């Protein structure tokens, strides 16, 4: 005989939380969703998850464990003099070939990869109000000089991030939040009350561990370390800032 509650779970669709509706409809900003989620997830008492939420809200200060989706490749553009004649601004620097000539192609990613470390609110604001700005970082003058040759003199160079890549970071963050909320809806009732503490503590230890593991897999792109006995090996998620440049 199928129990009534089991039948209902199979036949009646799970009611979606207001939190999920607000996120998917765009009625609330991602920053607002994160603030509500911060209160809910505090009931799990997991430092790594809390640090991820704080990093997304306030910005990442330590980039050593920045989430992979917040590291994007930029485009090298510089103020250059070509063949001692033409002076060109916003010139796309052939960085890869310059590094190959110096046998340091393995440093290419160190040059072009940029850590997007601003809080999600700052990124959302930039997308709406600062689309004319360029995100990125400058290359030190001495490095520009060391890469220069007679054919190409580099007076200055910035690694710039197209605005669509900043939009991509926001999209990935939103997708992860949807997955986190869907997971919480499955494991807890009425997450809109912002209080899951008692529900979490009432579960078996193994079940609590797997809830944490599943959430960490969402956050870290299914890449986390599990110690003996399915215990979570904690890692820190860092914080910092992204630099902005105007043409």
| For residue 229, pLDDT beyond 80 | no
Q: At what angle do helices 18-25 and 163-187 cross, to 10 degrees?
A: 160
Mean per-residue pLDDT of the chain: 84
- Do 36 and 56 belong to one domain? yes
Average pLDDT over residues 228-242: 36
Task: Out of 2-16, 112-126, 132-146, pick the least confident.
Answer: 2-16
Written in H, E and C, the secondary structure of 116-170 is CCCCHHHHHHHHHHCCCCEEEEEECHHHHHHHCCCCEEEEEEEEEECHHHHHHHH
In angstroms, the CA 219 to CA 224 distance is 9
- Do 115 and 185 belong to one domain? no
Average pLDDT over residues 126-133: 78
How do residues 99-111 score in pLDDT, each as one tens digit?
999 999 999 999 9
Residue predicted with more confidence, 237 or 36: 36
Q: At what angle do helices 205-219 and 47-58 cross, to 10 degrees?
A: 30
Residue predicted with more confidence, 139 or 65: 139
| Model pLDDT, residue 222 | 65
Domain boundary residue, one of 166, 201, 225 = 166
In angstroms, the CA 97 to CA 109 distance is 13
- Do 77 and 56 belong to one domain? no
Enclosing H/E stretch for 197: helix 197-202
- Do 145 and 83 belong to one domain? yes
What is this structure's pTM?
0.78
How do residues 195-211 score in pLDDT, each as one tens digit?
899 999 999 999 999 99
How do residues 152-181 score in pLDDT, each as one tens digit?
999 999 999 988 999 999 999 999 999 999
Task: Out of 10-14, 53-57, 74-78, 158-162, pick the least confident.
Answer: 10-14
Residues in contact with 190: Cβ distance below 8 Å, sequence separation at least 6, in sequence order: 17
- Do 194 and 126 belong to one domain? no
- The whole domain housing 229 covers 17-68+179-245
Cβ atoms of 61 and 236 within 8 Å: the answer is no
In angstroms, the CA 12 to CA 157 distance is 59
- Do 202 and 229 belong to one domain? yes
| For residue 243, pLDDT beyond 50 | no
Instruction: Provide the number of structural domains found in the chain.
Output: 2
- Whose structure tokens read 């997304």? 56
| Model pLDDT, residue 240 | 35
In angstroms, the CA 167 to CA 177 distance is 15
Cβ atoms of 160 and 75 within 8 Å: the answer is yes
- Do 102 and 39 belong to one domain? no
Cβ atoms of 238 and 56 within 8 Å: the answer is no
- Whose structure tokens read 């997708």? 175
| Model pLDDT, residue 127 | 87
Residue 11: inside a domain, yes or no? no
Our measurement of the distance from residue 247's CA atom to the centroid of its chain's CA atoms, rounded to an integer in Å, reads: 26
| Model pLDDT, residue 132 | 67
Domain boundary residue, one of 134, 166, 198 = 166
How do residues 28-42 score in pLDDT, each as one tens digit?
999 999 999 999 999
């Amino acid at each position: 005989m199928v129990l009534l509650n089991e039948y209902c779970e199979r036949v009646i669709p799970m009611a979606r939380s207001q939190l999920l509706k607000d996120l998917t409809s765009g009625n609330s900003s991602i920053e607002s969703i994160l603030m509500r989620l911060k209160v809910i997830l505090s009931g799990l008492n997991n430092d790594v998850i809390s640090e991820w939420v704080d990093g997304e809200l306030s910005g990442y200060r330590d980039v050593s464990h920045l989430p992979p989706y917040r590291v994007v490749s930029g485009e090298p553009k510089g103020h250059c003099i070509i063949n001692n004649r033409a002076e060109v601004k916003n010139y796309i620097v052939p960085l890869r070939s310059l590094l190959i000539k110096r046998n340091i192609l393995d440093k290419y990613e160190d040059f072009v990869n940029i850590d997007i470390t601003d809080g999600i609110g700052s990124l959302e604001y930039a997308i709406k109000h600062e689309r004319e700005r360029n995100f990125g970082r400058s290359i030190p003058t001495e490095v520009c000089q060391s890469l220069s040759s007679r054919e190409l003199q580099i007076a200055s160079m910035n690694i710039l991030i197209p605005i669509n890549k900043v939009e991509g970071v926001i999209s990935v963050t939103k997708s992860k939040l949807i997955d986190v909320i869907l997971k919480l809806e499955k494991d807890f009732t009425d997450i809109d009350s912002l209080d899951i503490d008692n529900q979490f503590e009432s579960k078996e230890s193994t079940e609590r561990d797997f809830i944490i593991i599943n959430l960490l897999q969402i956050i870290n792109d299914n890449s986390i370390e599990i110690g003996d006995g399915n215990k979570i090996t904690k890692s820190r998620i860092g914080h910092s800032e992204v630099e902005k440049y105007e043409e």
